[in-house]
Amino acid sequence: MITKPLTTPIPLLQLQVLKRRLPSLHPSLPLIEQSLQLRTSGHKGETTSEYYFKVADSDDLSILFGLRIKSPKGYYFQMDVLVLHQNFYQIYEIKNEAGTHLLDPETKQYTKLGPTGDENRKNPFEQVSIQNYLFKEWLKLRQLPVPSNEQFVVKANRNSIFKMTAPNKEITSQFIPAESIVQKILNAQQSYKHQHYSQVGLKQLTQLVLGDHNEYKMNLFSYFPITEQDIVTGVLCPHCSQVMKAKDLNHWNCVKCGFVSDICIAKEALKEHFYIFQRPVNTRECMEFLKLNSRYQALRILKQMHTVKTGNHKDTKYFLKDLM
């Protein structure tokens, strides 16, 4: 069963919105585009792999994508895919970067080879080992059994080549192409006979990890050299990026290209505010960002969105539920 489906990661959405809301000649744009490209590629790899997890899926499994839980020492760690079963668990780290990658099993150095020079990368085998160690600690802290377990690094991109400076059996056994995910799950289902969790226990474990999940959000203003004043405000036309004007309570139009939209476009624009600034807004801030003249209109937009309200009267603020 897929108990936590794959969704578009919030940082990817944040970067898409940020790119759209910066002036086209902003000096940080190349850096933001590079980061966006990396995250888009990473997510594409997860989407490719998702297919194979769906093929292998069965009632005795609990498959969780993008789970981010708190280690006993208080910091969060994320697993691309966690597969739970009554008898075992597996952790998968998905890699989608094209090109040739070289691993030195002695020094653990992982390098992307390139025509203009080699670039250091995080060693995915070390990454998945740390995740596995932290997940065991997470289970132990809750006095839960640690079942048999496996960890894999998945090559989701057909155009990527992996090489090692010296043979290493352990590394070779952990490295799989996306197509092999199905076989790895089937093998584990057949070979691990010792039951560590009852059927109910597995369901409880799934609920526990889901309850501890906390989605990662980027603090864009500390990540990139940008300021809050750099952000372009207003309801932007999806076709020509011009700031749109509110015709009445329910209609916005673009004076440049003539595009007309209903209130949805204002809700989308405010959603972008939440993704970028990640803080609650009051009606005045909503009016300012959307360039509205009516407080009533701002309230109408805020109330139609999936927002959570805090405070009363003049101190009332609203925040997007998805980001809490």
* CA distances in angstroms from 321 to 3, 92, 152, 276, 297, listed in the order given: 20, 29, 34, 15, 20
**Minimal distance, residue 285 CB to Zn ion, in Å:** 25
Separation CA 145–CA 152 (nearest Å) = 21
**Minimal distance, residue 19 CB to Zn ion, in Å:** 18
**Minimal distance, residue 255 CB to Zn ion, in Å:** 8
Mutual orientation of helices 283-290 and 295-304 as an angle, nearest 10°? 100
Q: Of 194 and 256, which CB lies nearer to Zn ion in the complex structure?
A: 256
**Minimal distance, residue 244 CB to Zn ion, in Å:** 7
Q: Of 254 and 302, which CB lies nearer to Zn ion in the complex structure?
A: 254
> Which H/E stretch holds residue 170?
helix 169-174
**Minimal distance, residue 239 CB to Zn ion, in Å:** 5
Q: Of 82 and 244, which CB lies nearer to Zn ion in the complex structure?
A: 244
Q: Of 128 and 254, which CB lies nearer to Zn ion in the complex structure?
A: 254
Interface with Zn ion (CB under 5 A): 237, 239-240, 242, 254, 256-257, 259
**Minimal distance, residue 18 CB to Zn ion, in Å:** 20
Q: Of 158 and 239, which CB lies nearer to Zn ion in the complex structure?
A: 239
Strand order from edge to edge, sheet including 175-177: 2-4, 61-70, 76-85, 88-95, 148-155, 175-177
If we measure between CA atoms, which residue out of 120, 119, 118, 149 comes closest to residue 135?
149
Residue ranges in 57-153 assigned as alpha helix (H): 124-141
Q: Of 149 and 242, which CB lies nearer to Zn ion in the complex structure?
A: 242
71 Cβ contact partners less than 8 Å away, ≥ 6 residues apart: 77, 134, 137, 138
**Minimal distance, residue 261 CB to Zn ion, in Å:** 10
Q: Of 194 and 239, which CB lies nearer to Zn ion in the complex structure?
A: 239
Strands 76-85 and 88-95, how do they pair? Answer: antiparallel
Query: Are 82 and 209 a contacting pair, CB within 8 Å?
Result: yes
Q: Of 256 and 279, which CB lies nearer to Zn ion in the complex structure?
A: 256
**Minimal distance, residue 100 CB to Zn ion, in Å:** 44
Question: Taking the alpha carbons of 244, 246, 250, 256 in that order, is the dihedral positive or negative?
Answer: negative
Separation CA 78–CA 138 (nearest Å) = 12
Separation CA 286–CA 300 (nearest Å) = 11
